[in-house]
A = this chain, B = another copy of it.
Amino acid sequence: MQRAVDLLALYDAEHPSRSVRELVTATGLPKSTVVRLVHTLEQCGLLWSRGDGRTVPGPGLLRWAELARTTWQLPEEALARLRALSEAGGGESVGLYVRQGDARVCVARHEGTRSLRHVVHVGAEMPLWAGAAGHVLLSRSDRAAVTAVAAQGPDPEGAALLWERVQRAAERGWSVSHGEREAGISGAAAPVFDAEGRLTAAVALGGPTVRFTDEAVAGFVPALLDTARALTALGSIGGTGR
């Protein structure tokens, strides 16, 4: 299953169709394995063989696309809140992230208006061990869980540092990060809860580190916290209430 999903992940805007040969090169798997995986994915409707011998994401995904849209589409009022936060943040981009296993996934966003801006697509997966949204999403986890997540990162010494950042996020109710995931990118994030007070998501502002000075961050944290509270009040993340 995971291998099949990883194979599908090789299709994107730059590679809308793939030949078996390309898939073999991209995965490093034996050709026989790739052929078998492609066949399985075709049977499930997740890949489709075009007449020209190339495969494309299958029409079975169309139903899943509808499912994803129904589940994750935020109400207009919540999207308006993301937009307002982007404006309050001086035109930086805003993203809403949920935890998915050991990753965080962007489930909604409002792209900033600056010419140098942080661009994240809905559906994009990012590591949980890096970035302000990661700290926030881990802020209800215990040390063992945080250490396990840190072990996914590149730095064997990273666990103590991540735990410190996560604790800080839990204490003050927001977090800021500079270049943890990618040099030159900063973020500030705050937690969103469901109606029963469980941590559900992190709302984050993201942009170039050069614009995330301590002064600038102090300036937009109130708007960030306001937005997080408004999203908590609106609910509906992951189709809550349905």
Contacts and interface: CB of A to CB of B under 8 A. Distances in A.
- List the number of copies, as a whole number: 2
A68 B57 contact: yes
Interface residues of A, number: 60
A64 B59 contact: no
A101 B44 CA distance: 8
Nearest to A47: B100
Interface in A67-83: 67-72
The prevalent SS among residues of A at the interface is mixed
Interface in A86-134: 98, 100-101, 103, 105-107, 121-125
A32 B159 CA distance: 34
Nearest to A11: B67
Interface in A1-34: 1-2, 4-5, 8-9, 11-13, 16-17
Nearest to A240: B50
Interface of A: 1-2, 4-5, 8-9, 11-13, 16-17, 40-46, 48, 50-52, 56-72, 98, 100-101, 103, 105-107, 121-125, 194, 196, 198-200, 238-240, 242
22 contacts: A1-B41, A1-B44, A5-B45, A5-B60, A16-B70, A16-B239, A43-B101, A45-B100, A45-B101, A45-B105, A51-B194, A52-B194, A56-B71, A57-B64, A57-B67, A59-B98, A60-B105, A61-B65, A61-B68, A64-B123, A65-B123, A66-B122
